[in-house]
Structure 1
Amino acid sequence: MRLTDALPKEGSQKRRRRIGRGISAGQGASGGFGMRGQKSRSGRGTRPGFEGGQLPLYRRIPKLKHFTVINRQQYTTINIADLASLPANTQVNLATLMEAGLITSDDGPLKVLGDGELTVPLQVEAAAFTASARTKIEGAGGTCTETD
């Protein structure tokens, strides 16, 4: 056996295309780059992200911090300090707060925030509670019930 005998099986490999070797080779003259224009010249065609003069994507998107949430959940919020004026063992939800005048507009489900102090026990029904609001309501002897 000789080194010249160690060849791949006939038809198992395609030979690589040799461009720029004359018109009979199939990829002569312009070498597959066409006739004229920016993409036929030597060197880099355009830089990455270039969109032909249109403002590129990396400049169109917002630059700082983060993207805004598209379908953000809107809540009607109330602080613990506002609930302190209610009598003890009151059932608190969005409807009762509207009747009492503590909330003037219904902007969505009720969310209780933890700003202020609470001394009376209340039964609060809301869609969401902050962690500090939950601890203050339960610390005063009340209950927190999450509704959907």
Structure 2
Amino acid sequence: MTARFRPMLRAALAAGLLAGTLMMPARSDAASPEAEVEAAVDELTRAILAADGTALDALVLDGLSYGHSSGAVQDKAAFVEALASRRSSFPSITLSNRTASIVGDDAIVRHVFDGETVSNGKTVPVHIGVLQVWHREGGRWRLLARQAFKL
């Protein structure tokens, strides 16, 4: 290639690279709202397994309605106290068939909950369906309601 064509070739390559860059979709490192609420569900699961009262308190809203598959319903204080005191504990939890849908600042999360619970010294296997309602407040997701049901 002769020296007189090199500047034109450089200009054409630069224009092509610029055009390709401008046509690429914008890259975002931010997680989707669905991914964020799924992360909150995972954080809640870890806090339940660890019986971490401080983390549980931070992850649920004051108006929490926590429904069990037995029909019992707990408010925030009763939910946190039962786990933090280890009156109820969960040695294992596995969540499957997970879905999350976002509606404004709220999220509807469904999953199948498998694991074990220990209550009054008795270990019982658990296999239930769960519906959770999460609310985004101050940029973070917190649990507002949960209802479990027998499968």
State the TM-score, normalized to the length of structure 2.
Answer: 0.27
User: Which of the pair has more CA radius of gyration?
Assistant: 1
Question: Normalized against structure 1, the TM-score is what?
Answer: 0.27
